[in-house]
Structure 1
């Protein structure tokens, strides 16, 4: 199962890249990883119920919002470190695409282009015998609009001269609300680590988390940065 999310570009805030990325999780490992995340939820919130009040979102942790609004700096950093450790140790494939908004000519198509490149990288991450299904955040309107595009990728290949056929990603694109899926939440954490490494975040918490990231190997299985010039 491939769980994915996105981080939008915000050039006015120094974030030029639009990211799409996620984790490809073997079916027999999902419950194992969910158990680790649920145990952390119980430790923090005294329940593992899947609600907005127990949802792990990196943005909420970073900005002291939602269920993390009463946590101080060290506690929030410790939570993010625990989540990063779970991600780093999980038996998953990590895939991401970073599209440079400033260098892209067709800026209005940035979400479509990023998603197509992401589908290619997921395809490349699969071995010959593997198949996967894409599951994204239901609240992401851009991705919901791309279900028809994905169907064309499967029949005709991705939409450029050097495109590839998508044969390892089966069925359609599926969606769930992030607070109903620990795996989508972990994909959110992964996108946070990826976007963080591109250096757009500033401030004390960001600097402290940069130190945390040095402790873990989160090198992707497949990735794409585009355009390069």
Structure 2
């Protein structure tokens, strides 16, 4: 049994970031506490507590832009945090999945979130072996969460919403949501999407350049992925 934790990153064309990402990690249930322990130890090292609060939350955007609990950390310290998180992610026995939808090439731009989530559900389904099952847990801060609950119910009944869609049989129950600061696994899914979006090359500046060198040290190739539309 797996638990799939996921998050999303919106497209920001004004900042040369044209992709809407949905992605996450499929974690074997018996490995969750082991991975949590590593993230909690990092929290203790940085904040002297592993309590799950906004003040101990590993959020890539906050680390990158020196915000929130990382507001007093200098460049080398924040880069070191990103490296430790990336190392934990790379060594974790998880399935990594992402979808990148090119907002600029999409005709129905108002449906970008729906399309990305449907493709993500397909990739999760395809990542599961015949006898494997998973549930989905997303970030409650995602503004699309109500639509995702309704859409996923349709996918389980009718398959994904296109002619070449597939049946969803390995993802059980509904899609669930939790606040990211209450789940180390959702935080790690956020870090994974940071690594994915970073490879698409939209970030600029000293930290981005330094992190690109760190990222090159680790194998984070996805188990399943989709980049669409092409061409």
SS of 1:201's equivalent in the other structure is coil
Whether the 8 Å contact between 2:103 and 2:112 is mirrored in structure 1 is: yes
Match of 1:158 among 145, 157, 160: 160
Tell whether 2:111 aligns with 1:109. Answer: yes
Q: Deviations over 1:67-104 (max 9, x none)?
A: 00000000000000000000000000000000000100
In the alignment, the residues of structure 2 paired with residue 146 and residue 177 of structure 1 have an alpha-carbon distance, to the nearest angstrom, of 16
Measured against aligned partners, the alpha-carbon deviations of 1:143-185 in whole angstroms (never above 9, x if no partner) come to 3222111111011100000000000000001000000000000
Conserved in 2, the CA contact under 8 Å of 1:138 and 1:144?
no
Q: Contact 2:6 / 2:22 at 8 angstroms: preserved in 1?
A: yes
Any unmatched runs of 5+ in structure 2? none
2:211 is aligned to 209
Counterpart residue number, 2:187: 185
1:198 and 1:170 mapped to 2: Cα distance?
32
Contact 1:68 1:76 in 2 (8 A): yes
Ranges of 4+ aligned residues in structure 1 off by more than 4 Å = none
Number of residue pairs matched by the alignment: 229
TM-score by length of 1: 0.99
- Show CA shifts across 1:176-213 (max 9, x none): 00000000000000000000000000000000000000
Decide which of 99, 102, 108 is 1:100's aligned counterpart. Answer: 102
What's the offset of the Cα at 1:105? 0.2
The CA RMSD measured in Å over matched residues stands at 0.5
2:145–2:177 Cα contact (<8 Å) kept: no
1:126 counterpart = 2:131? no
